[in-house]
Structure 1
Amino acid sequence: MHSMTQRVSMALLMACTTALAHGQELEPRSFNNLPIDQTFVFVGAARSDGDLSPPGSSPLQDAELTIDGLAVGVSRTFDLAGSSAKADAVATRLCYEGEGLFRGEYVEGRRCEYADPRFKLTWNFLGAPAMSMQQFAGWQQDLVAGVSVSVNAPWGDYTSRQLINAGSNRWSIKPVLGMSKRYGTRWQWEAKLGATFYEDNDDYYNGAQLQQDPLYSTSFHVIYNLPRGWLSLDANYFTGGRTTVDGQKQDTRQDNSRWGVTWSRPLMPRHLLKVYASTGVITRIGNEFNSFGVAWLYRF
């Protein structure tokens, strides 16, 4: 029962996790099967430090930032067309401080704000039948394929008078296609392809219009299941996302890659802990930063 509870809850923990930008996510076990009719709550804290793009849209150049985030989320699993599915909602509070150049002038500051909330729907349409907790206890995964759609709503703190905002003042949507396969009792891999599409921001800094090309991403995870918990090596690549401000194309196309490690284990039958870290390995713009985080999940 302990092993089954671990398998159930840890995939949900990944689904709750939010990142600073969609293309930079490193979320292992996003497409694992789960028993239906389960509810989870999630609390996570993370720090990112280095040369990175702020969570919202910013005209800063050469920004050196430290961003501390606290995220709270809830997830629910359910039956969708005979296969397992889950819905997630996450709210995040960010505190950031840093410095950079704005039109050649040095600027610095510190502020705490609410980021845009995130909503996500995941459906494992192949190899993940909808099962109760009791049925799931004896099930063994082979190949699972699924899709997810996440939406960031423009409800976070934002003003066009500020150089940095936690909110983005625009909708974004990210569809993802993923596959996961398990080998024996220990090894598993997962691969994902996704793209983030952005609405225009018609109230960018000082009332300008911001447009952004889609950001395309892929990620791969190699997971080793420990006697209690699991360990994952994670890598991704994302490209695109070039911005245009008032019709003028900016030199902001991303061509970046990150790698990281994730470790998790159950604490008690209904409690789980996750610790993760990542860093940039290939950088064209805004990716030379390190991230560290810890998360706790409780299953009702």
Structure 2
Amino acid sequence: MALNMTPPRPKTPLAIVAVFLAFFSVTTRAQTPRDYLNTPVNAAAFFFDFVNNNSETAAESDIPLPNNVTVIRVGVATILWSFPLAGRYGGVAVSGGYIGVKVTGPLGEVSNSGFSDPSIAFHANIFGAPALHKDQIAQAIPKTFSSFHLTVNVPLGSYDRNSPVNTGANRWAFNPVLNLSITPDKGVSWFDLYAGALFFTNNNAFQGNNQLSQNPLVTFSGFYSHNIGKRMFLGAGVSYDNGGESYSNNIPQDNAANGFRPGVTLSRGRTIWRYRLTLRYELTGTTPDSAPTNSLFAVRLSGPLF
């Protein structure tokens, strides 16, 4: 009988903090009911999002940051320009934000704040959302549609290779999403289905000259929403995340996501193309040992820019 003398693989707690932020970028952009309803082409719209996220690991967790609480607050501003694309709806959006993060645990407190990585998103309708101008969209009858969306995060946010926590990721990220939105009653209610993934390049300046890499993270979401009167809708659904394990110098950190996030959304606006206020709340439904418990509260104000 031979004894296994292989030493245990070291894990890097700060890699886990970095991945908290990576997962948080997904939940910040997490899909909600009616995300991609048709809007007028040749028009600009704005979105302002404020998100508060709390992540907590249990004391008995097997990840290298047990009994820690991470609080992240972010404000993101987005400008969307919509345009005809082969006779259907198309759009491009630019986003930028500011993040504050604080990690508290048995070893003390670490905090930081700064600009997040800006992003650019491309939107293209596949079927069901024709290119409509402002004077046409009020009379249009909503119908089932599908679209493709690609968001690219550019590594221009605040980053210091010697800081224990950063708000910029110092790496590119690519997030393709496909949606299918089904209405059985001309827009009174919607079933929204989303499938997406997040792909990362490596960060080769992690904690000095170390390398942080990460597997793709796959996400699925499904929601039902229904109108309440003429100005409001209420929606509920669930998202599922899988994958995204990180590696510090090719050493796996055993922190892959594998859980559900149920959520509710309440949205009120004057009309389909005026200012709208949307509230969103999410909470983890299933939590493996390697993942934190998360709660998220988000507020969005949106409307025409001009």
Task: Identify the TM-score tier after normalising by the shorter chain.
Answer: 0.7 to 0.9
For the pair 1:98 / 2:100, whether they are aligned, the reply is: no
1:244 to 243, 247, 258: 247
CA offset at residue 60 of structure 1?
6.9
Indicate the residue corresponding to 2:15 in structure 1: none
Indicate the residue corresponding to 1:255 in structure 2: 258
Indicate the residue corresponding to 1:273 in structure 2: 277
For the pair 1:217 / 2:219, whether they are aligned, the reply is: yes
Number of positions where the alignment pairs a residue of Structure 1 with one of Structure 2: 272
Q: Which amino acid aligns with 2:202?
A: D
CA distance in 2, matches of 1:166, 1:60: 21
**Pair 1:179–1:287, CA change in 2 (3 A):** farther
Indicate the residue corresponding to 1:153 in structure 2: 154
CA distance in 1, matches of 2:121, 2:264: 23
CA offset at residue 94 of structure 1?
1.1
CA distance in 1, matches of 2:164, 2:65: 10
Contact 1:31 1:144 in 2 (8 A): no
CA offset at residue 126 of structure 1?
0.5
**Pair 1:173–1:239, CA change in 2 (3 A):** same
More strand, by proportion: 1
CA offset at residue 172 of structure 1?
0.5
Indicate the residue corresponding to 2:49 in structure 1: 44
- Cα RMSD for the two superposed structures: 2.0
Contact 1:145 1:178 in 2 (8 A): yes
Superposed CA offset, 1:266-287 (max 9, x none)? 1587321111111111223444
CA offset at residue 193 of structure 1?
0.8
CA distance in 2, matches of 1:246, 1:98: 23
CA offset at residue 206 of structure 1?
2.7
CA offset at residue 217 of structure 1?
0.8
Unaligned runs of 5+ in 2: 1-22, 58-62
Contact 2:279 2:300 in 1 (8 A): yes
CA offset at residue 242 of structure 1?
1.3
Q: Which amino acid aligns with 1:122?
A: H
CA distance in 1, matches of 2:142, 2:274: 22
Contact 1:23 1:217 in 2 (8 A): no
TM-score, normalized by length of structure 1? 0.85
Indicate the residue corresponding to 1:30 in structure 2: 35
Q: Taking every aligned residue pair, what percent have the same amino acid on both sides?
A: 24
Aligned positions of 1:98-247 closer than 5 A: 98-100=103-105, 106-184=107-185, 185-227=187-229, 228-247=231-250
2:295 to 273, 286, 290: 290
Indicate the residue corresponding to 1:264 in structure 2: 267
TM-score, normalized by length of structure 2? 0.83
1:84 to 85, 89, 92: 89
**Pair 1:238–1:119, CA change in 2 (3 A):** same
Q: Which amino acid aligns with 1:137?
A: A
CA distance in 1, matches of 2:125, 2:193: 14
CA offset at residue 182 of structure 1?
0.8
Contact 2:34 2:190 in 1 (8 A): no
Unaligned runs of 5+ in 1: 1-18, 53-58
- SS class of match (2:183): strand
